[in-house]
A = this chain, B = another copy of it.
Amino acid sequence: MATALKVKAFDLGKQASSADVIYDAMRDAIIRGEIEEGEPLRQDTIAQMFNVSRIPVREAMQRLEAQGLVVSERYKGVVVASLSYDQITEIFQFRALVEPTVIEMAVPLMSDESLETAQQFCDAFAAETDPIRWGDLNRDFHNSLYRDSDKAFFLSMIDKTNDLVERYVRLVLYLTQGMRYAVQEHQAILDACKARKPKLAADLTRNHIDTASKTLVSYLREHHK
């Protein structure tokens, strides 16, 4: 038997296929709201944008559809998915159930580095003036608190909910000029984590999501179309 190797050959993270690149790019464009709801995504157009044939484009579309970001109809193509207020409300209801549970599990495992990282995202969110970056920083902050839970499946579910509503969150962050009061809620959650109070962090997270949900839907009803 071969002797165990000392060197851990670095994991040259498998190069991405064209379909991977296209999926990532289109996912980004959709969740950032750079494409209108209901807008069709033409295979030819996208293929030309990436200088590839339509094959990898279609494979990326299959995945976008499985993720719920687009809906496709045979021989008609795919369009960017849109969510009703009821659907948005349901997704936030789901988040209000899952995210407090995850943070509660994460608090006892949180490293000082994670807490420091979270504090940095929290500060950066508070200081940021560019509307485009609010969405990212908000998501980064929350994810940095969840990561140490080491619950990959829960995290993937949270990611999916974020993908689905992110375009609306961004819109309302813009309309409310950054939801300044959210900063205080973020800091309160983070302080509960630092104090190693899992239940408190969970409760604050649940309230944070509930108020975000209400703010979001009410603003959408007012301003959105």
Q: What is the chain B residue whose CB lies nearest that of A164? A: B153
Q: How many copies does the complex hold?
A: 2
Asked whether A59 is an interface residue with its Cβ less than 8 Å from the other chain, the reply is: yes
Interface size classification for chain A: 20 to 34
Contact residue among B55, B67, B151 (Cβ-Cβ distance under 8 Å from A55): B55
A132 CB-CB contact with B under 8 Å:
no
Interface stretch, picked from A38-46, A89-97, A113-121, A184-192, is: A89-97
| A90 B14 Cβ-Cβ under 8 A | no
| Per-position 1/0 for A141-164, Cβ under 8 A of B | 000000000011110010000000
Separation in Å of the A86 CB from the closest CB of chain B? 9
A residues 48-86 near B (Cβ < 8 Å) are 55, 58-60, 62-63, 65-67, 73-74
A214 to chain B minimum Cβ distance, whole angstroms, is: 18
A200 in contact (CB, < 8 A): no
The residue that A97 contacts in the complex, of B14, B17, B67, B98, with Cβ under 8 A, is: B98
